[in-house]
Amino acid sequence: MEMENDGSSIETEDDIIKSYEEKEGSEDASNQSEDLTKEIEELKSSLQRLQADFINYKRRVEKEKEQISIFANEKIMTELLPVIDNLERAMDSCKEEEKESSIFSGVELVQKQLIDSLGKFGLERICDEGCDFDPNFHHAVMQEEVEGVDSEKIVAVFQKGYKLSEKVIRPSMVKVSK
């Protein structure tokens, strides 16, 4: 319904509807902008959590791989410890004059080379005579009062102990002073 006028002061229905739609459109655009901003922030937060989860997953997998490697090395090394013991026994059973022979030197060299090679994979000897007794690393098979030696000191080693990456794979069998 249009009224006749010069058209400058009276708006038509179409103009009113258009003006209302523009107002609604700007409010909707503002609301949409806020909603989109919130959604972007939520997505960023979600992405950051996923990235942190992935980094933690990679660390966990790397640690598991390392543990598997250590476990595999442990089995091999525990099998080789008797070989090291036998080489030491062979050297200990030699008489003083035999220790100058090339055979003794060869056995000594092989034993040292074997220990050095296993050391590259984390094998370490546990402290020997003169060290303080530690039940985490030593197995006391005898206790004896020794003059001039403090209590709880290792005075003899019957079987050397070894650890692999801070884990004891065989404790030292020792005699401890009282």
Cβ-in-10-Å burial (0-12, 13-18, 19+) of 94 comes to middle
- Tell me: the pLDDT tens digits for 31-59? 888 888 898 999 999 999 999 999 999 99
Whole-number percent of the chain with pLDDT over 70: 84
Mean pLDDT over the full length of the chain:
85
What's the pTM value of the predicted model, to 2 decimals? 0.60
Q: What's the alpha-carbon Rg for the chain, to the nearest Å?
A: 40
User: Which uninterrupted H or E stretch holds 150?
Assistant: none
Q: Model confidence at 2, in pLDDT bands (50, 70, 90)?
A: very low
Whether residue 172 is predicted with pLDDT greater than 50 in this model: the reply is yes
Q: Where do the H-state alpha helices sit in the chain?
A: 13-92, 102-119
Instruction: Work out whether strand 172-177 and strand 138-144 pair parallel, antiparallel, or are unpaired.
Output: parallel
Amino acid (1-letter code) at residue 170: R
Under 8 Å between Cβ of 21 and 29: no
Q: What is the pLDDT of residue 44?
A: 93
Token readout for 110 is 């092989």
175 forms beta bridges with 142, 156
- Tell me: the pLDDT tens digits for 109-121? 999 999 999 999 8
Ranked by mean pLDDT, the top range of 19-23, 102-106, 158-162 is: 158-162
Domains of the chain: 12-121 (3.90.20), 125-178 (2.30.22.10)
Q: What is the pLDDT of residue 13?
A: 62
148 forms beta bridges with none
How many Cα atoms within 13 Å fall on the side-chain side of residue 84?
A: 22
The residue that leads in pLDDT, 72 or 177, is: 177
Whether residue 134 is predicted with pLDDT greater than 60 in this model: the reply is yes
Under 8 Å between Cβ of 161 and 138: yes
